[in-house]
Amino acid sequence: MRRVVVIVSAGILVVAGCESKPKAAGHAVAQEPPPPLTSTWQSSAVPTHVEPTIVKEGAAPLVYMVEGGAVIRVRDVSGNRDIAQGFVPARSIVRVDGRRGVIYGDRTVFAGPLADGGRYQIVVEASGENVARQGTYQPTPHQAR
C-alpha cells in the first residue's frame, strides 16, 4: 500500500510517503527508491495591496530583529523624514541608538548622535508577490527494472 500526504502551509510544501510491504520470513527485502512525483499547479496573483508595517515606534533606543531578509526603513517622526532605508539580511538586528545612530546588523547606515527627545519608527517595507497556488500532486506509476 502506498500513501502520499501533502501539506501546504504558509508557502511551505511538505511531502511524506508511507510504504508497507511484507517481508519474507528470515529474508531482508530490498528497499526500492520511491517513484518520482508529478504535479500540476496553477498560480494566480492575489489582488491585495500590502502596506508597510511599523514594527517599533518610540524614543531611542529601539531594537528590532529581522526574521527574514527585508527592506527596512527608519523614520524620524519628530523631523518628519526618513533617515535610513535598505535591505537587511535575515537574523540581523536593526538598532536606533541615540549616540551611534541607525545600525543595520554591523553596518552604520545613519551616523549619530540623534536628536534628544526624538521619536522614531522602524518600518518593514512590503515586498514580494502575493500568489495563490492550487493543484494536484501524486506519485507516478512505479516502473519495473
pLDDT in tens, the chain (145 residues): 445 444 444 444 444 454 445 555 555 556 666 556 656 777 777 777 778 999 999 999 999 999 988 999 999 999 999 999 999 999 999 999 999 999 999 999 999 999 988 999 999 998 766 777 777 766 666 665 5
Burial of 22 per CB tally in 10 Å (0-12, 13-18, 19+): exposed
**pLDDT tens readout for residues 14-29:** 444 544 455 555 555 5
- In this prediction the pTM is 0.58
C-alpha torsion sign, points 53, 56, 60, 66: negative
How high is the pLDDT of residue 87? Answer: 95
How high is the pLDDT of residue 24? Answer: 53
Q: Which residues contact 78 (CB under 8 A, 6 or more apart)?
A: 115, 117, 118, 119
What are the extents of the domains in the chain?
A: 2-45+130-139, 53-124
Q: Which residues contact 72 (CB under 8 A, 6 or more apart)?
A: 64, 66, 84, 85, 86, 87, 88, 94, 104, 122, 123, 124, 125
Q: Which residues contact 119 (CB under 8 A, 6 or more apart)?
A: 57, 58, 59, 76, 77, 78
